[in-house]
């Protein structure tokens, strides 16, 4: 049996994740770390992601015969090389061809290294000596950005040796025609309102699924995002915020309530209406099933998160200040907003150069517009 990730229930009734070794035994140091993350209210998806990252880490350590307590920097380098291999390569069943694609890219590897670093930092603060941390971390200066878990003790962060150079990818956005096609492909008002809400607010899908009726302020045209526990595991990742919306969205909400929601007794805005369990809040899995059907109808691939990228990109193109976009998206820092959405398509670059007179316009109607 390989190393596996299992969902568990903590003593207080909340859920978490753990790693089980090939002998069907829980990996105690990983279990303690993941339980701690759950207790301090880290996102369930974050805890789950860390569980899979640490599963790979301990599978590697077991294969090379290194104890997690005695890991050194060179072992992490070997771990990076191991992650690049396919599962069959890792097991020694096949040889890697020079032109073969890497199993894990730089972004994925960096995320796994971050999980490993946080795991070791947690145990070092509990008295376990971790050799590689002394050569791969450095103290924060005053006013520096601090990672999560920094509040547990002396602030540290990984040095550059623990990160790979990853190509920066611009977030994929939807065109206005694609957004319209998705909305037109929806057969029910609930579904059309859901995607129109994603497009008109930039909310994450977890934030949308966690909305209650009280969160929609119809008179003021405001959507209130609130961090709370939800029975469908939906989550507001970045805390509370208010997002102004167009009156058209409020009208879609009212039509949805009148025509489809009816007298259903439920606090949640988005619920199962035509599939069991009826009347229960929609889950992420139900939304993804809907997305797959819409992909077939529209003929192109899209994800719920692309609506958020599209919303933010369009606001910045319309010269909405970055700090306003930050507030609307719920980013902790405006630098996150700027760094994520600093991309411009070549047509927008050309438009900017034409508007300053640096390039001549290819549109005859614009000729002479920039002349004195």
Residue 341 annotated as catalytic: yes
Q: What is the pLDDT of residue 134?
A: 53
Question: Which residue is catalytic, options 154, 168, 305, 317?
Answer: 305
- Reading the block at residue 235, the tokens are 């989550």
Q: Is 32 a catalytic residue?
A: no
Please give the pLDDT value at position 362.
67
Which pLDDT value is given to residue 346?
A: 61
What gap in Å lies between CA 341 and CA 246, rounded to an integer? Answer: 23
Q: What is the pLDDT along the chain (372 residues), one digit of tens a residue?
A: 689 999 988 777 777 899 999 999 999 999 999 999 988 878 888 899 999 999 999 999 999 999 999 998 889 999 999 999 888 888 776 666 555 567 788 889 999 999 999 999 999 988 887 766 654 444 444 444 344 444 444 444 444 356 777 677 778 899 999 999 999 999 999 999 999 999 999 999 999 999 999 999 999 999 999 988 888 888 887 779 999 999 999 999 999 999 999 999 999 999 999 989 999 999 999 999 999 999 999 999 999 999 999 999 899 888 888 899 999 999 888 777 777 776 655 666 677 677 777 888 766 555 444 444
Position 151 scores a pLDDT of 44
Give how far Cα 247 sits from Cα of 81, 217, 253, Å.
53, 11, 10
Candidates 256, 308, 309, 311; catalytic one: 308
Element of type H or E holding 17: strand 15-20
Residues of the chain with CATH 1.10.443.10: 176-311
The catalytic position among 159, 172, 228, 237 is 237
In sign, the C-alpha dihedral spanning 169, 170, 171, 176 is negative
Of the residues 123, 192, 235, 331, only one is catalytic, namely 331
- C-alpha–C-alpha distance, residues 10 and 104, integer Å: 32
Q: Residue 126 and residue 32: Cα distance in Å, rounded?
A: 11
- Tokens 């029975």: give the residue: 231
Task: Tell me, yes or no, if 331 is annotated catalytic.
Answer: yes
Q: How far apart are CA 9 and CA 153, in angstroms?
A: 28
Domain 176-311 sits in which CATH superfamily? Answer: Intergrase catalytic core (1.10.443.10)
Asked about 204 being catalytic, the answer comes back as: yes
Tokens representing 102?
A: 């890497």
Q: Which residues, other chains included, contact 12 with Cβ-Cβ below 8 Å and sequence gap of 6+?
A: none
Quote the pLDDT of residue 370: 43
Backbone angles phi and psi of 89, in degrees to 5: -65, -40
Please state, in angstroms and rounded to a whole number, the distance separating the CA atoms of residues 270 and 272: 7
pTM for the full predicted model: 0.73
Q: State the Cα–Cα distance between residues 82 and 368, nearest whole angstrom.
A: 61
* pLDDT for the residue numbered 337: 78
Q: Which of 190, 204, 235, 309 is catalytic?
A: 204
Separate counts of helices (H) and strands (E) for the chain: 15, 7
Q: Where are the beta strands (DSSP E) in 250-323?
A: none
3-state helix, strand, coil in the chain (%, to 5): 50, 10, 40
| 305 assigned to active site | yes
pLDDT of residue 349: 65
Q: What is the pLDDT of residues 262-298, one digit of tens each?
A: 999 999 999 999 989 999 999 999 999 999 999 999 9
Per-residue model confidence as pLDDT tens digits over 79-137: 999 999 888 888 776 666 555 567 788 889 999 999 999 999 999 988 887 766 654 44
């Amino acid at each position: 049996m390989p190393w596996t990730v299992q969902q568990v229930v903590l003593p207080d009734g909340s859920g978490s994740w753990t790693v089980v070794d090939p002998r069907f035994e829980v990996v105690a140091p990983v279990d303690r770390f993941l339980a701690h993350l759950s207790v301090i209210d880290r996102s369930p998806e974050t805890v789950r992601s860390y569980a899979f990252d640490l599963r790979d880490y301990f599978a590697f350590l077991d294969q090379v015969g290194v104890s997690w307590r005695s890991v050194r920097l060179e072992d992490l380098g070997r771990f990076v090389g191991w992650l690049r291999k396919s599962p069959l390569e890792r097991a020694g069943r096949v040889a890697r061809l020079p032109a073969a694609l890497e199993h894990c890219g730089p972004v994925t590897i960096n995320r796994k290294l971050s999980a490993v670093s946080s795991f070791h930092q947690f145990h070092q603060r509990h008295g376990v000596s971790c050799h590689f941390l002394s050569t791969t971390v450095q103290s924060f200066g005053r006013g520096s950005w601090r990672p999560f878990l920094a509040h547990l003790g002396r602030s540290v962060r990984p040095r550059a040796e623990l990160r790979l150079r990853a190509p920066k990818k611009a977030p994929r956005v939807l065109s206005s025609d694609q957004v319209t096609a998705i909305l037109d492909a929806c057969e029910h008002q609930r579904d059309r309102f859901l995607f129109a809400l994603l497009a008109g607010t930039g909310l994450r899908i977890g934030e949308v699924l966690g909305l209650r009726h009280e969160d929609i302020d119809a008179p003021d045209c405001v959507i209130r995002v609130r961090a709370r526990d939800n029975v469908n595991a939906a989550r507001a990742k970045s805390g509370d915020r208010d997002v102004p919306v167009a009156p058209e969205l409020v009208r879609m909400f009212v039509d949805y309530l009148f025509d489809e929601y009816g007298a259903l007794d439920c606090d949640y805005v988005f619920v199962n209406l035509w599939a069991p369990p009826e009347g229960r809040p929609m889950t992420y899995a139900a939304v993804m099933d809907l997305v797959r059907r819409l992909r077939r109808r529209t003929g192109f691939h899209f994800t719920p998160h692309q609506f958020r990228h599209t919303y933010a990109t369009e606001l910045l193109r319309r010269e909405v200040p970055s700090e306003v976009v930050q507030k609307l998206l719920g980013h902790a820092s405006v630098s996150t907003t700027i760094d994520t959405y600093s991309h411009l398509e070549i047509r927008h670059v050309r438009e900017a150069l034409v508007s300053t007179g640096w390039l001549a316009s290819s549109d005859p109607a614009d000729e002479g517009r920039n002349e004195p």
